[in-house]
Amino acid sequence: MGSVLVSMPFLALLRSSAPNARIIFVTDSTNRDLVAKCRIADEIVSLDHVMTPRRALQWARLALLMRRAGKSVFFDLQLHTHRRSAAWMSALSGAALRVGFLRSGDWLRPRVFDTLIVGNMFAPVHELYLQMARAIGCGPLADAPSESAPQLHITEADQQEADVALNGLVQDGQHLLLVVNPNTSGKATVRRWPLDHFRASVARILANRSDVRVVLIGTEAEFDYVERLRGNLDEFGDRVVNLAGRTSLGGLLAMLRRADCLLTNDSGPFHFGAALGTPTVGLFGPVHPDHYGRLGGPAKTVIFYRPMVCSPCVHFVRTPPCGGDNQCMQAIAPAEVSDACLSLLGGMRFVRRGAGASWRFAAAPQTTSAEGVALGVWHPPEDDEAAPRFTVTC
């Protein structure tokens, strides 16, 4: 979900550079509703997550769709996952121009793609996406990087669903709403802040502010895990409710837009909060926050990141070196997190001890050479058998 949202500035650049072009967005079926909420693609093609005969048929239909489209450009936005399957999909597309990322050890991509962008694992992903568009001449090459948040469309029905789910928990003018997400994608549960840390932080907030109401969120599959946190907050009675899996995506977005503060691990809801302008406290460790955490208003976002010698690890190794004992997350203290939330809720000053922007890339990284050529584009050697060579501009 984070990858979908950080691709929106890139898609906006495509749209402004080629307003008459048709944008077909290919994504996992679980992301279809989110892409629809962004309202920037002309057509959404969703694929099953697991390779099955049905997914093979979906691939065939996609290839046929693109070949019928005539002259087209295929952008492969897969930087970390499904890279090989996306490369084969690009080859099957019959696109006149294919653009993708190159990383160490790639043998297939130099043979499939016409234009390759160096897949810098430490750069903001939205900037890498923008550089793909710049590399083929979209927009002014020297344009400043766009960190504007994507626009998410929330309907009146979504708002009504959120109101029903809240069931009068929050009364306007009387209560503040704190939404808490203790979950992460099942692919990387090492990104979870410990439940006892969440419990300590939320309890401290509720003890300090009698007007705060807390909604715990997650997917239906995460309900039991979230319920463990709610059970540990029984002393606060009906001021804390578990709504994991109880709303659609639209209902969740409407609730987050209404929230006075969001406390979340590095996960989809973090990106939703940033996109909606909700004051957000994000907890990072196994993933560097600069990689995916740049979009949105920095004045409304507090990020905690305590890197260890092995952090970030998620995008570099198959199995976390800590074996799940994520000291980089455990090092974030509940008291400082609750202070940040209380500050965003209003009423106290927060000193950013373990948070802040010192880890961020330059606000306006250079995107072109002195000759106006997009940086980070890999050019194949004249000898096809030679190993890939890179030109690095510092």
> CB–CB of 352/302 below 8 Å?
yes
Quote the strand ranges of 285-379, DSSP E: 301-305, 377-378
pLDDT in tens, 9-39: 899 999 989 899 999 999 998 899 999 999 9
CB-based burial, 279-317: b 16+ in 10 Å, e otherwise: bbbbbbbbbbbbbbbbbbebebbbbbbbebeebbbbeee
Residue 363 has pLDDT above 60, yes or no: no
CA-closest candidate to residue 90, choices 66, 126, 58, 54: 66
Eight-state DSSP code of residue 238: G
Beta bridge partners of 329: none
State the average pLDDT over residues 223-238.
Answer: 97
Arithmetic mean of pLDDT, 77-88: 89
**CA pair distance 282, 352, nearest whole angstrom:** 13
Listed ranges 30-34, 57-61, 366-370; the one with the highest mean pLDDT: 30-34
pLDDT band for 384, please (50, 70, 90 cuts): low
9-13, 144-148, 280-284: which range is least confident on average?
144-148
- DSSP letter (8 states) at residue 48: -
Helices (H) and strands (E) in the chain, counts: 15, 12
Q: Which residues contact 319 (CB under 8 A, 6 or more apart)?
A: none
- Residues 6 or more apart whose CB falls under 8 angstroms from that of 263 comprise 178, 179, 180, 181, 198, 201, 202, 280, 281, 283, 337, 341
pTM equals: 0.87
Write the DSSP assignment of 75-132 as a string of letters.
E---SSSSHHHHHHHHHHHT-SEEEEEE-TT-SSHHHH-SEEEE--TTS-HHHHHHHH
At residue 216, φ and ψ (nearest 5 deg) are: -95, 135
Token output for 72: 């087209």
d(CA 47, CA 30): 9
Q: What is the average per-residue pLDDT within 205-213?
A: 96
Question: 75 versus 299: which is more confidently predicted?
Answer: 75
Mean pLDDT in residue range 160-180: 95
The string of pLDDT tens digits covering residues 194-208 is 999 999 999 999 999
Q: Name all domains of the chain by residue range, CATH numbers in brackets.
A: 2-145+367-378 (3.40.50.2000), 158-345 (3.40.50.2000)
Residue type, 134: R
Residue scoring higher pLDDT (63 or 146): 63
pLDDT of residue 352: 56
Q: Which two tokens stand for residue 152?
A: 């998410």
Angle formed by the axes of helices 268-276 and 249-258, nearest 10°:
50
**Residue range 99-113: mean pLDDT, rounded:** 91
